[in-house]
Amino acid sequence: MIFDHVKKDGVMGGQIKNIERILDQGSSWLNEDKLVCAENMFGVCDGASSLVPDLYHGKTGAWWASHLVSSLFSSNDASLFDLSKRANKMLHSTMTAMGVETEDKLHCWSTSVAAFQLSEDSVSWIQSGDSQVLAIYADGDFKLLTPYHNHDKQTLQQLKKLYQQGDPAPHASLRPQVENIRRQMNQNYGVLNGEPGALDFLQTGSEPLKGMSHLLVFTDGMFPPGEKPQDQPDFRWVTDHFLQGGLSQVKTEIRSLETRDPDCRRYPRFKKHDDMAAIAVSFH
């Protein structure tokens, strides 16, 4: 796990006071989340768990997707849209070189991404998938800058129903639904996976920095577990715990809730612990 605080005086005219980062592996054998910290740009990538057993040089497609995209973003030498476009193209070319069946979405390497670039008086952001950028203001209010789209809602509602019906292997029974949703990539929701259509789902925007105290970017492993899959994650909960104890407190509280629900019965989810990646940039 990566967990640190980094003082950054003199960056962006001295406006960055502190940077906190978390990268924590979940229940799987490989951490498929990745962080990006590059001067005035900060981001996270969350590789979508592979639905095929293929490994490439000992790593999953999800691992490759998050690492390739994060490495390209780390160059920070273009706009966020252009970086995303280049990253998506690199995904396709690398998959082709490694013999991946890119015509089958279940084989495609894919990753969500959320990132922001700071200027003197504003922040620009980009998102694909379900990673998020959250602004917290000096008065304690918050604003989710990136749009939230819950493409797992029906799947997790079905998981909850399977538990209620007493299914002895609910996650196995869920497999056809999971595959069905994966095949909807860049049709009903966005993700970087090498397809040209991925660019049509990129969400971008900008926001004035005035009044902001903190900017957070994080993968869905930092969403608090919820009992109702149809509801939006409680980002007020995230904000309050962050203001009390930083990203480390958010992580600790989430892991505690997950540990008390190891079978994912109370809080429907795909695994006991998801990978976590998060960066918090705090200002003077």
pLDDT tens column, 94-134? 999 999 999 999 999 999 999 999 998 999 999 999 999 99
Give the least confident one: 64-78, 161-175, 210-224. Answer: 161-175
pTM above 0.75, yes or no: yes
- Averaged pLDDT for residues 269-275: 95
- Averaged pLDDT for residues 36-52: 94
Averaged confidence pLDDT in the chain: 93
Banded model confidence at residue 4, pLDDT cuts 50, 70, 90: low
Q: According to the model, what pLDDT value does residue 15 have?
A: 82
Q: According to the model, what pLDDT value does residue 9 have?
A: 41
pLDDT tens column, 126-148? 999 999 999 999 999 999 999 99
Q: According to the model, what pLDDT value does residue 123 have?
A: 97
pLDDT tens column, 251-263? 999 999 999 999 9
pLDDT at 220 over 90: yes
All structural domains of the chain: 2-283 (3.60.40.10)
Banded model confidence at residue 6, pLDDT cuts 50, 70, 90: very low
pLDDT at 8 over 80: no
Residues 169, 172, 176, 180, CA torsion sign: positive
Q: According to the model, what pLDDT value does residue 166 have?
A: 92
Q: According to the model, what pLDDT value does residue 50 have?
A: 82
Q: According to the model, what pLDDT value does residue 13 have?
A: 42
